[in-house]
Structure 1
């Protein structure tokens, strides 16, 4: 007779705390910035505050007022886990996972995109689809258990570098990831992958393929790989872009970039050793084409992304409203119309998360997934919403975004301060209030950090054309367009050259 499942208070809890998460990053990883290895990412000025921001997420898993909001008992391991790190089995579970995702998103005001729950979109599926990974199904299950129990932070790198993409993959063996040696205890790989956003502050990276069209059977088996690499894997080099956190002059001047900069990186595997227990797919050109749609990453990933975007849009609506009040333009008709549209984008985005959860589709092994066609629609519309945000801020705040002085030191200058108090004051606040608000607005859309977010949101789920083509392809595969076309045929069947042929229109009643 099976024993009763443990209650949440009885369940083992191995989830990392903020402190243990920070400690887990001190593992000898090779993170490169400005030509040098960063010895400790938790203390380096390029990463320290972002690391603390991530630590806050883990603290929320244990805080008395958010512990039950964020966690549940995992049916597979019996441990207390983050609600989105384990597969959902009902619409109710998806909604509760949404609440957990939302809370984490609010801790960065929607500006940290690759928080650990993002990769949960894929990692949670390792337990419900483990048979797919045979003969490495045991690895899939083992990694799920390790991941979910600790609440590990996992990044991913699934895009090939933009080199010779017009050629078949097997002709670019000097750049794309491939296996170069097979050993009794694992494989040796070399090559590069991108974009491993935030990987400098994660525990491991999932490495796979997404651009699959030219992985040819019989020629590209050495590239048909999927594996998980701890960030301290010997031979793994993490090459970072310039750090916006490091460039931040103060929290007052750079309130977002000084603490929420998720550094985008390229992972270079320089004859790196991958033990067999970390391999999920090996030299299988057919399976490497199937794992992406089978994993649940598409619908779950866009579910998490939509929740995060809704929080971000709320934040931007708040800035726009306060900014126009500070300028005395809040009552202008055009300003009100712009703010109204921004709110509509937020409401639409949030409503889509509700629909994804409440109208789920059947997933593997008794699980449910957010409905894919709704997720695909968010994938198309999210970049448009962020493009409109920029338009509203540039139209309705305009030069106010630049009338902020050079830094917080201007306000601390005793000679300048009386002048700034007089000439920089706002209609709804002091000069300091006004400058503080517009520096926040500029960091969100105009700084290097803000420009990166514009680029990120545009390409978050793929190129603009590709997200639309995928929506079309998916609709055709599900028979949606056939159904829609049948309605057209039915409508045209109601009449012919001589008049109406069906219903009351035809019989004159």
Structure 2
């Protein structure tokens, strides 16, 4: 990662970003070490997609919307800096939207995702005492270069019925403490887009932290950073949808927006003290996830990202119906209208998150917790409904297509395709292109992975509902809501109304 840091403290360009990935990182794919992810066909187009985001930071058309100078004098992306007002949050939301529209909402873990946490380090670094200087220095480095961080905060789904301290053969834990830092080993998931990042944030999510007990789990109560050139960090990637994409015509999304997920292993990796945030502190591991404001902020990014993706899916569905000649069918309009209403609802929550924030560390503000929790629930289950609507009103239309763009290049079959595969007011090539996009979005391996991602990226299906309930109890909302019921119950009894406002008549007599 050394080549990322330059004497000129400014955001990287796209070219500088690509060069920064050539640092000897250990990415393994199909049994081989990928020495340069920027040129390997499994990663290169996704890397170039991210590079376009960095170029936008310098483009005259977008740089004013995307960047600002923070309170420390650092020129950075607006969401990479702490927010201190509703206006700051509004501008950050606009910056998120500009970046997300460049991939139509199909890349969830672009650089601004982890900015949801990293920016909080600049607001109150001393929250992480005795490692306050770690937070302070990482924020300066991160914000000034607009670094791309991945994160791993989930333990592998192994022996979860046992205490974390008893799964040391798998879970990340301290092996040894030295004068210069710590030696750690273990695995974490899911390192989404990690092959294209500048560093790994290793932490504990709310579900994992809830299982930690003081006096037992200190060796796994850790939060730290790993530089990508750490020789003992291994990223073992899943299959690449980008690699399998035959052409942009056949795979317009997966050929450039595949955020390859990886299984991350640290095998006696040395982590210097200057990269440690929390060390063997169970209480702080339990608190920091909520205290930092990360939860509030990441849901702002994910909701905006999902809404742009939803807008894309609404437009794609409407074009598919028009191609079929069924856009005016009343039942189809009803279902498209449902998605339009969902889009409006979630944008309204975004508006609430930025216009009615709550105080956070160091005098900063973050989106209100209640709004963030609501957005988390409704964005996570929405993809299943989107897919269901596609399947109901597009029917079998997405199946009827050519095997490859090459079919249109065959002079014998081309006239048949032009006649029988055309759409309503649309040529066969245009129809095929449209439905290839539908297939890649909903039914391909890439589309299937997105269905899994949308449902699980923010936690397990139960935790998403348990958190709002627990927070409502902690913040006194449940008591207020029960008090409403108690007030109603207090207004009557067996003898009738206890308040003279109302009249009760029985057997013709007023009581």
Q: TM-score, normalised by structure 1?
A: 0.96
Q: 1:506: Cα distance to partner?
A: 5.1
Please name the residue that 1:152 is paired with.
147
Q: 1:506 to 1:366 in 2, by over 3 A?
A: farther
Are the equivalent residues in 1 in contact too, given 2:201–2:226 (CA < 8 A)? yes
Find 2:29's aligned residue among 30, 33, 41.
33
Count of residues in correspondence between the two structures: 496
The 3-state SS of whatever aligns with 1:482 is helix
Q: How does 1:435-446 map to 2 (within 5 A)?
A: 435-446=432-443
8 Å contact from structure 1 (residues 309, 349) kept in 2:
no
| Native 8 Å contact 2:232 2:266 kept in 1 | yes
Give unmatched runs, 5+ long, in structure 1. Answer: 1-11
| Residue aligning to 1:3 | none
Quick check: 1:419 aligned with 2:416?
Answer: yes
Asked if the contact 1:154–1:204 (Cα under 8 Å) also holds between the matched residues in 2, the reply is: yes
Residue 85 of structure 1 pairs with residue 115 of structure 2: no
Q: Which whole-Å CA distance do the structure 2 matches of 1:501 and 1:427 have between them?
A: 69
Cα distance in structure 2, aligned partners of 1:106 and 1:155 = 20
Alignment partner of 1:72 is 2:68: yes
Please give the alpha-carbon distance, in whole angstroms, between the structure 2 residues aligned to 1:35 and 1:340.
47
Instruction: Please report how far the alpha carbon of residue 333 of structure 1 lies from its aligned counterpart in structure 2 after TM superposition.
Output: 1.0
Pairwise CA distance, 1:345: 1.1
Question: How far off its partner does 1:495 sit?
Answer: 2.4
1:494 is displaced (CA, Å) by 2.5
SS at match of 1:124: helix
Match of 1:449, SS state, is: helix
Corresponding position of 2:115: 120
Distance in 2, matches of 1:499 and 1:94, equals: 52
Q: Tell me which residue corresponds to 1:328.
A: 325
**Structure 1 consecutive aligned stretches of length 4 or more whose deviation exceeds 3 Å:** none
Alpha-carbon offset, residue 284 of structure 1:
1.3
d(CA) in 1 for partners of 2:413, 2:164: 61
Deviation at 1:503, TM superposition (A): 5.8
Which residue, 166, 182, 185 being the options, matches 2:180?
Answer: 185
1:380 and 1:447 mapped to 2: Cα distance? 25
Corresponding residue number in structure 2 for 1:165: 160
Question: Residues of 1 paired with 2:375 and 2:61: CA distance?
Answer: 31
- In the alignment, the residues of structure 2 paired with residue 437 and residue 228 of structure 1 have an alpha-carbon distance, to the nearest angstrom, of 43
CA distance in 1, matches of 2:366, 2:499: 41
**How far off its partner does 1:13 sit?**
5.3
Specify the alignment match of 1:252 in structure 2. Answer: 249
1:334-385 superposed Cα distances (whole Å, 9 cap, x missing partner) = 1100100011111111111000111111112111110111110111111222
Pairing of 1:97-496 with structure 2 (within 5 A):
97-210=92-205, 211-496=208-493
**How far has the Cα of 1:195 moved from its partner?**
0.5
State whether residues 292 and 361 of structure 2, in contact with CA within 8 Å, keep that contact through their aligned partners in structure 1: no
Give, in whole Å, the separation in 1 of the partners of 2:490 and 2:221: 50
Specify the alignment match of 2:4 in structure 1.
none
Cα displacement (A) at 1:283: 1.3
Question: Shift of residue 230 of structure 1?
Answer: 1.1
In 2: Cα distance, 1:405 partner to 1:358 partner: 49
Larger CA deviation: 478-487 vs 312-321: 478-487
Note if contact 1:15-1:150 (Cα within 8 Å) is conserved in structure 2.
yes
Instruction: From 21, 46, 50, give the equivalent of 1:50.
Output: 46
Shift of 1:217: 2.0
Deviations 1:424-458 (A, max 9, x none): 00003111111101110110110000000000001
Question: How far apart are the structure 2 equivalents of 1:294 and 1:363?
Answer: 8
Partner of 2:5: none
- Give the 3 Å change call, closer, same or farther, for CA 263–503 of structure 1 in structure 2: farther
SS of 1:292's equivalent in the other structure is helix
Take 1:363 and 1:285, find their aligned partners in 2: how far apart are those partners? 22
RMSD between aligned residues: 1.3
Residues 380, 458 of structure 2: 8 Å contact kept? no
> 2:288 & 2:165 partners in 1: Cα distance?
20
In the TM superposition, residue 208 of structure 1 has moved relative to its aligned partner by: 0.9
The 3-state SS of whatever aligns with 2:79 is coil
Secondary structure at the aligned position of 1:462 is classed as coil
